[in-house]
Amino acid sequence: MEYTSGAASWQKVLRRAVAGLLPRRPRQRRPGWSIGVPLIAAAAGLLFTTTATTAGGTALREDRRPQLTQLIEDRREQVAASELRAARLRAEVESQTAALADTDGPIKDQRDRAAASRQAAGFTALTGPGVTIELNDAPRRADQTLPKGASNDDLVVHQGDVQAVVNALWAGGAEAMSIMDVRVLSTSAVRCVGNTLLLHGRVYSPPFKIVAIGDPAELQQALAASEGVRLFKEAVEHYQLGYKETVSTVRVPAFEDSTALRSATVPR
DSSP secondary structure code for residue 152 in this structure: G
Query: 3-class SS at 8?
Result: helix
Q: What would the pLDDT profile of 122-154 be if each residue is shown by its tens digit?
A: 778 999 999 999 999 988 877 777 777 778 888
Residue 182: name the closest of 84, 110, 252 by CA.
252
What whole-number distance in Å separates Cα of residue 202 and Cα of residue 10? Answer: 106
Residue 87 identity: A
The contacts of residue 86 (CB under 8 Å, 6+ apart) are 258
212-246, pLDDT tens digit by residue? Answer: 999 999 999 999 999 999 999 999 998 889 999 99
Say how far apart CA 193 and CA 159 lie, in whole Å. Answer: 8
Query: Is the peptide bond preceding residue 129 cis, with omega within 30 degrees of 0?
Result: no
Q: How many helices (H) and strands (E) does the chain have?
A: 7, 8
Higher pLDDT, 163 or 69: 163
pLDDT in tens, 73-115: 788 788 888 878 888 888 888 888 888 878 888 877 777 777 7
Tell me the HSE value of 220 on the side-chain side, using a 13 A CA sphere. 12
- In sequence order, the 6+-apart residues with CB closer than 8 A to the CB of 31 are none
Taking a C-beta distance cutoff of 8 angstroms, is the pair 136, 208 a contact?
yes
Record the pTM: 0.60
Closest to 118 in 3D by CA, of 236, 255, 266, 20: 255
Whether the CA torsion 178, 184, 190, 194 is positive or negative: it is negative
